[in-house]
Structure 1
Amino acid sequence: MEPWVQPAIDYFRLWMDFQIRSSQQPGCIIAIAHRGKIISEFALGHANLVTGEKMTPRHRFRIASHSKSFTAAGIMKLRERRRLRLDDPVGHYVEGLHPQVADTTIGQILSHSAGLTRDGADAGQFTGQRPFLSPRELLAELAVPPAIAPGTRLKYSNIGFGLLGMVIENITHEPYRTWIEREIVETVGLRETEAATPLARAAPMAGGHTPLLPLGRRLVVPGDIPQHAITPAGGFVSTAADVARFFAQLSPQAKNSVLSPASRREMTRRHWRNPDSTVENYYGLGIMSGSLAGWDWFGHSGGLQGYISRTAMIPACDLTIVVLSNASDGWAWFWLDGALHILRAFAKNGAPTRRVRDWTGRWWTASGATDLVPMGNRVLVGSPVMGNPFMDATEIEVTGRDTGRIVQAAGYASYGQAVRRSRSKAGKVIEVWLAGSKLRPEKAVIADMERRYGHGRPARR
C-alpha cells in the first residue's frame, strides 16, 4: 500500500466526523478496501434516531440499486456457463411479454438500453405508497410496448432488472434469492449480505429515516419491506465492508473473482453515456462509471426510501470506497466525492514528511472550523465544510518548530504572511495564528461564543 493512503484515510475520517455533525444526518457506515482487503471501516451517528441506537460497522443497510450489480454478475456467470448469450432475445427465456419487449436482448436490459419503463405505471412502490410488484404484476407491466425504441439511449429501468431475475429463475429452475446467494454472494465470500428481506440470519438493521423536510424532524422507515419481483433491481441488504469486497473483485485487475477477467471488462466497460447530464458518467452492464479528480472509477449507487448509498472502485490505486447513509436525503454521493478529492490530494502531494507531520488538527474561530493537514513537505489548510476541503487550499511552508509562512494562496487569502503556533507551559499547542487569525480548540471557542452571544437563550430561526 502506498505511504499516502493511510494518512489520507485518517483525514477522511476526521472530515466525515465534521460532515455528519454539520449535516444533521442520522448516520452512515464507510468501508475502504485496498486490493480487495478492508483497510478501514467505521460508523458515525445513529442507526435509529427514535431509540438512540448507535451505528456500528455491522449494521445492515438496504443497498437498493447496488443489487443490479449482483444481478448482472449472476447473468454474466450464466453466460460463462453457456446458459445464455448477451444478444439473446429475452423472450427466449420469459413468456407473456409484449412482442417488442420479447425482442429486446439480455445485453440491452443489462445496460439499460432496452427502452423499458423505469418503474412501471405506478412508482409508489418506491415511496411506500404501495407494495412492490408481484411476479404477476411485473409481467403485466412487461405486456405493454417499450417506452422508447431499444438500442437508442441509456434509459434506466428497475422493471428491466426485475425481468432479468425471471430469466435467472427460468434458466436455473431455482428461486432468484436461492441461486444468487449461493452462486454469487457465498462464492465471493460475503458473510453480511443477503439478497432480500426478511433476513435469514439475525443481524442488526439500520433504520431508514425520512428527510428532515417537510416535517422538520425525521421518522424511522422500516428496513424490512420485501421487494418481491423487484428484488433483483433493489432488494439486497449488506454492510459497507461486504459491498467493498464485492466491487473490488469486479475490477478486471483483481486476482480473485467470481467472474473471468473478460466478463469483468465487459461489465465495467462504458457502454452508454448518460445523456442530458451535467456531470459526464456512463453505464456498463449493471455498473456505473465516470471520472473525478483525474481518476476513473466504476461502481454503483442506490436510493430506496430511507437509504442512500454509493460505491466507487478506483483501478488506478486499487481502492474501493463505500458510503452507506440511512436517510432519504442522505449525503452518500457528496461524501464519496469528498473521499475521492481527499485521496487524490494525498496521492498528488504524498505522505507528510517528519518536518511537518505534527502540524495537524482541527482549529476553530467563531466563523467555523479550519483543518491543518500535512502532506508532503507542506501543510494544507483545509475547509471541512466543503465537499472538496482542499479546493484552492492555502499552503504553509514550515520554517521552524512552530513557525511557517503562507507560500500558496488565492488572491483573497493571506499569501506571504506568517503562521505561528503557541504552546502551553506543558508544551501542548493551544493556538494557531494563521496570518492575523487566531484559531483555537473547539471547547475554547464554544465557551467564548456562549459568553458573547448566548445570553441563556437559543437563537430563533
Structure 2
Amino acid sequence: MLRLLPLLMLAGTPAAQDVHDVPEQVQALLRDYQGQVPGASVLVLRDGEPLLRAAWGMADLEAGVPATPRSCYRLASLTKQFTAAAILLLAQDGRLSLHDPARRWLPSLPPAAAAVTLHHLLSHTSGLVDYEDVLPAGLDRQVHDADVLAILGGQDRTYFPPGSAYRYSNSGYALLALVVERASGQDFPAFLRERIFAPLGMATAVAHREGHDTVAHRAWGYSQAGGAWVRTDQSPTSAVLGDGGIYASVDDLARWEAALHDDRLLRQPWRGLMFAPHTATDEPDVPHYGYGWRLNGDSTWHSGESIGFRNAIVRWPRQRLAVVVLSNRDEPGPYPLALALGRLYGAPAAGAGP
C-alpha cells in the first residue's frame, strides 16, 4: 500500500501532480498513456482527499494539448449513474414512482412493453430490444434519445418477460432520460445541470448537445488504425444522452463521489437504492447490478465505453476509497488499471475483482 501525503482538498483548485513525481508503481501502470498519444486523467480519493490527481498523454493530438485533471471526457456508460440519480431525485420529490409503467410516461412504447416499469429500466431487467441492434440501414446522421423511443415503438417484442432476467440495456437508459424530461418539465441536460451538477459544484460537467453547449477542456476521442491514432470522437449513437452522453472531468467526479456518502443530493433510502442488489447478472466481476452501478462484494463500479473513450470508476465505500480513470482512446480498457491503482492505495483484495 502506498502511503502518501494527500493533496490539497478539492474544495480549492489544487495543482495537478507532476507525473514525474508520482510513485514508480503508478508510473509503471500508466506507461501506455505517456507521450504524444491519447491520454488518461486519473484520480484516487480517500476520505474525500485526492491522494493522486494527475494526467498522462494528450487530450488533443492535432492541437498538441496535453491531458490534465480538468480535461473533460465523454463518460459513456458512467453516465448511467447520473441518469439513475435523476430518476431517484424525481421519486424523492414525489413526481414519479419507480413502479410506474414505462408506458405511463412514454405511451408510444409498443404493447409488448406494457409490463415494463421504471425499476426494470433502471436494473436492466426490462427485456427491451437494444436500439443499436435495430438502427436503420445506411444511417447517415446521429440518433437522439427521442429517436430511440421511435425505433423501439416499432419493435413489438422483448427478449424476455420484463423482470424475469438481466440483459444490459442502453435502450432502457435512453428512455429514462425521456422520463426525466416528461416528469420534470425540463430537458434532460437542464435537469442534470440544475439538480446535480450545479449543486455539487461540478462546474464543467455537461450532457453535451452539439450546437447547444460547449465542452470545456475537451478531450477528443481516438482509435488505432494502421498503427496510428486517428480521431474517432463520434459515432451515430454518440448523441444519445441517457445512456452515455455526459462529459466531465475527474475533478467533477470527485464532487460526485463525495455526494454518494451523504444526504446532500439524495436522502436515504433513495441513495441506497443505487447500490442495492436489484438483480443478479452473469457478467464478469458483476454478481449484481443496482441502479446505474455494478456491485462486486466490497466494491461498486462501472465502466464506460464508446468510440474513442474508455473509462472506469471503482469505489470501496467502507474504506472511503475511490479510483477514477478517464481516457480518450479505444484501448486498453481501464477497469483493470483502476483495480490495480486501488490495491496500491489500500483497497481490499477480497471481492475487488482480478
The 1-side partners of 2:126 and 2:237 are apart by: 26
Match of 2:268 among 245, 248, 261: 261
* 2:170 is equivalent to residue 158 of structure 1: yes
**Is residue 194–residue 238 contact of structure 1 (8 Å, CA) maintained in 2?**
yes
Report SS of the residue matched to 2:114: helix
Q: Give, in angstroms, the shift of residue 52 of structure 1.
A: 2.9
Question: What's the secondary structure of 2:77's corresponding residue?
Answer: helix
TM-score by length of 1: 0.66
CA-CA distance at 1:108 after TM superposition: 0.8
Q: Which digits, 9 at most, give the CA deviation of each residue in 1:249-270, with x for residues without a partner?
A: 22xxx23430012111111112
Who is 1:210 aligned against?
223
Q: Does 1:240 align with 2:250?
A: yes
Residue in 1 that maps onto 2:339:
337
Gaps of 5+ in 1: 349-386, 389-461
CA distance 1:289–1:134, shift in 2 (3 Å): closer
Decide whether aligned partners of structure 1 residues 136 and 311 sit closer, same or farther in structure 2, where only a CA change above 3 A counts.
closer
In the alignment, is the contact (CA less than 8 A) between 1:30 and 1:241 conserved in 2?
Answer: no
Q: Deviations over 1:130-185 (max 9, x none)?
A: 52245145323244222222112221111111111111111122211111211121
Q: Is contact 1:65–1:234 with CA below 8 Å preserved after alignment?
A: yes
8 Å CA contact retained: 1:64, 1:236: yes
Q: Taking CA–CA contacts closer than 8 Å with sequence separation of 6 or more, which of the two structures ends up with the larger relative contact order? A: 2
Question: How many Å separate the matches in 1 of 2:218 and 2:174?
Answer: 24
- AA of the residue aligned to 1:56: T
Q: Residues of 1 paired with 2:288 and 2:99: CA distance?
A: 20
Kept in 2, the 8 Å contact 1:98–1:142? The answer is: yes
CA RMSD in angstroms comes to 3.1
Structure 2 unaligned residues grouped into runs of 5+: 7-16
Distance 1:23 1:44 in 2: 6
Structure 1 residue 313: deviation in Å?
Answer: 1.5
Moved more, 96-105 or 277-286: 277-286
Paired letter, 1:220: R
* Structure 1 residues 217-254: Cα deviation after superposition (integer angstroms, max 9, x where no partner): 110123698844x201100000012123213322xxx2
Cα offset, 1:6, TM superposition: 4.2
Residues of 2 paired with 1:123 and 1:19: CA distance? 38
TM-score of the two chains, using structure 2 as the length reference: 0.84
SS of 1:316 mapped into structure 2: helix
Could you say which residue in structure 1 is the equivalent of 2:9?
none
Call closer, same or farther: CA 1:188–1:225 in 2, change over 3 Å.
farther
> 1:136 & 1:333 partners in 2: Cα distance?
31
Give the whole-Å Cα distance in 2 for the aligned partners of 1:31 and 1:166.
32
Q: Provide the identity percentage.
A: 25
Return the alpha-carbon distance in structure 2 between the equivalents of residues 161 and 255 of structure 1. Answer: 25
Using the TM superposition, give the Cα deviation of residue 330 of structure 1 relative to its aligned residue in structure 2, in angstroms.
Answer: 3.1
The answer to whether the Cα contact below 8 Å between 1:196 and 1:226 also exists between their aligned partners in 2 is: no
Question: Where do 1:70-149 residues align within 5 Å?
Answer: 70-122=82-134, 131-133=142-144, 135-144=146-155, 145-149=157-161
Partner of 1:394: none
Task: Please state how far the C-alpha of 1:216 moved relative to its aligned partner.
Answer: 1.4
Q: Give the C-alpha shift of residue 338 in structure 1.
A: 0.8
- Report the secondary structure of 1:274's partner residue: strand
1:437-452 aligned within 5 A: none
Q: 1:261 to 1:140 in 2, by over 3 A?
A: same
Q: 1:134 to 1:341 in 2, by over 3 A?
A: closer
Partners of 1:61 and 1:179 lie apart in 2 by 20
Residues matched between the structures, number: 334
Partners of 1:123 and 1:21 lie apart in 2 by: 38
Where in structure 2 are the equivalents of 1:389-408 lying within 5 Å?
Answer: none
Name the counterpart of 2:10. none
The aligned runs of 1:306-317 (5 Å cut-off) are 306-317=308-319
Q: Distance in 2 between matches of 1:203 and 1:78?
A: 28
Matched ranges for 1:152-191 at <5 A: 152-191=164-203
Pick one of 271, 277, 282 that aligns with 2:278: 271
